[in-house]
């Protein structure tokens, strides 16, 4: 029998309006004074007010830290930690995208008072437990609400991960109402990010298993079936619910079958040019899949069938090619920039980007086809587009 392990969160509460019911989870976790981590954009559009009012009504006043920025730096984590420690909070809630959820995860660990931030980076370095943790995503993308990872910006161009099962929250709350306000461009970028999670988990060379495979296929089905509508009409509740669930399923899948070359080549783009995470993935996605296709044709053929509305015929190779062409068409329809040239990435930087991508060996090792530095450069050149 196939031997594998599958880890995920103990509870997922998925319902329209569930973000207004956080008090019940706080009580179950013995939280009486929560820290609520979020970003200023969400406060300014009024997304937080009803959530805070609902907590207040249940006599659970939250300390709000609303200074999370995109790709959060260590200084943000430390500022949130200092405020929370001084206020004596006894649990952590995040309401926001991957940036807010990742900050909340690390702060919950720091509040256990055992380790300092530099001691947490890497795999399984968290030793001292954490405060109770509830994560409420407002983007349908990263799946951070169900992953054992937090990504923090550590330098000008570098990010580092804290990776430990202790970062899986006690509860993930999926409330599509919170995603209705996502602008079309962020809906598209974060949605493609989630699709990449599903695709790379399905073809991961390590730890892929029947549960992660089923989750990946179902995630891709939900995401590809609803992303156009969610971008076109952000108030379509059914499309938003499918996107949020799809991102969560993709998150559970890649939390167990880790992502690969798309992410390895996307990270340097985010680091150097501050291209949002989902868009960085989208920019290199078709070129990486084209490169991988000879080694992953049967799996790509499966995914092409999931992506397509119609029954596909032809050889495995031909169907695998349809995954790549289908994704190129989707990226075009979503009106996302499709080439590095369109984002003014200097052509002369491509060698440097390829060298940096090679440092992501922990990701490249999961890729269905070995990637050399020369391959990475060729993929960046293909993704560059115009010459």
- Residue ranges binding ligand NAD (CB under 6 A): 39, 41-42, 45, 70-71, 96-100, 102, 138-139, 141-144, 147, 149-151, 178-179, 181-182, 186, 190, 277-278
**CA distance readout (Å), 360 to 204, 264, 370:** 15, 5, 13
Q: Which is nearer to ligand NAD, 103 or 301 (CB)?
A: 103
Measured from the CB of residue 138, what is the shortest distance to ligand NAD in angstroms? 4
Cβ 106 to ligand NAD shortest distance, Å: 10
CA distance 352 to 348: 8
Least distance to ligand NAD from the beta carbon of 185, Å?
10
Residue 134 is given by DSSP the state E
Min CB(148)–ligand NAD separation in Å: 8
Of 34 and 72, CB closest to ligand NAD: 72
Nearby residues of 127 by Cβ (< 8 Å), 6 or more positions away: 114, 115
Tell how many helices (H) and how many strands (E) occur in the chain: 14, 9
Q: How far is the CB of 11 from ligand NAD (least distance, A)?
A: 18
Two structure tokens written together for 33: 């004074």
Phi, psi of 214 (to 5 degrees): -65, -40
Cα–Cα distance measured from residue 171 to residue 149, given in angstroms and rounded to the nearest whole number: 15
CB of 169 to ligand NAD, least distance (A): 11
Smallest separation (angstroms) from ligand NAD to the CB of 44: 9
Helix (H) or strand (E) holding 162: strand 159-163
Q: Are 158 and 213 in contact (CB under 8 A)?
A: no
> Smaller CB distance to ligand NAD: residue 240 or 319?
240
Closest CB to ligand NAD among 217 and 277? 277
If the CB atoms of residues 182 and 345 are measured against ligand NAD, the closer one turns out to be: 182
Q: Return the half-sphere exposure (C-beta side, CA atoms, 13 A cut-off) of residue 19.
A: 23
Q: Which residues contact 312 (CB under 8 A, 6 or more apart)?
A: 301, 304, 305, 319, 322
Using the minimum distance from each CB to ligand NAD, give the nearer residue, 70 or 236. 70
């Amino acid at each position: 029998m196939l031997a594998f392990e599958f880890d995920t969160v103990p509870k997922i509460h998925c319902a329209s309006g569930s973000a207004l019911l956080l008090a019940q989870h706080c009580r179950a976790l013995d939280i009486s004074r929560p820290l609520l981590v979020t970003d200023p954009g969400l406060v300014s559009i009024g997304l937080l007010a009803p959530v805070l009012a609902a907590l207040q009504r249940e006599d659970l006043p939250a300390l709000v830290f609303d200074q999370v920025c995109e790709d959060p730096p260590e200084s943000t984590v430390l500022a949130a930690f200092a405020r929370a420690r001084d206020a004596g909070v006894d649990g952590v809630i995040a309401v926001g995208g991957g940036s807010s959820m990742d900050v909340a995860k690390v702060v919950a660990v720091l509040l256990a008072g055992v380790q300092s931030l530099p001691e947490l980076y890497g795999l399984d370095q968290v030793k001292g437990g954490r405060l109770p943790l509830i994560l409420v995503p407002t983007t349908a993308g990263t799946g951070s609400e169900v992953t054992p990872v937090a990504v923090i910006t550590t330098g000008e161009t570098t990010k580092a991960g804290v990776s430990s099962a202790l970062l899986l929250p006690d509860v993930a709350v999926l409330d599509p109402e919170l995603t209705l306000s996502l602008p079309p461009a962020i809906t598209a970028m974060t949605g493609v990010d989630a699709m990449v999670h599903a695709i790379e988990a399905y073809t991961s060379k390590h730890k892929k298993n029947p549960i992660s495979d089923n989750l990946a296929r179902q995630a891709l089905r939900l995401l590809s079936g609803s992303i156009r509508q969610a971008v076109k009409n952000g108030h379509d509740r059914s499309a938003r619910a499918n996107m949020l669930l799809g991102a969560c399923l993709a998150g559970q899948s890649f939390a167990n079958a880790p992502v690969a070359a798309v992410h390895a080549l996307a990270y340097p783009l985010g680091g150097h040019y501050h291209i949002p995470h989902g868009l960085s993935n989208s920019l290199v996605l078709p070129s990486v899949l084209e490169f991988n296709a000879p080694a992953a044709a049967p799996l790509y053929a499966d995914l092409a069938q999931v992506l397509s509305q119609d029954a596909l015929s032809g050889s495995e190779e031909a169907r695998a090619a349809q995954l790549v062409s289908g994704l190129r068409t989707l990226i075009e329809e979503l009106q996302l920039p499709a080439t590095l040239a369109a984002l003014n990435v200097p052509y002369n930087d491509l060698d440097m980007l390829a060298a940096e991508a090679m440092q992501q060996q922990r990701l490249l090792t999961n890729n269905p086809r070995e990637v050399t530095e020369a391959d990475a450069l060729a993929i960046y050149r293909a993704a560059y587009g115009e010459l």
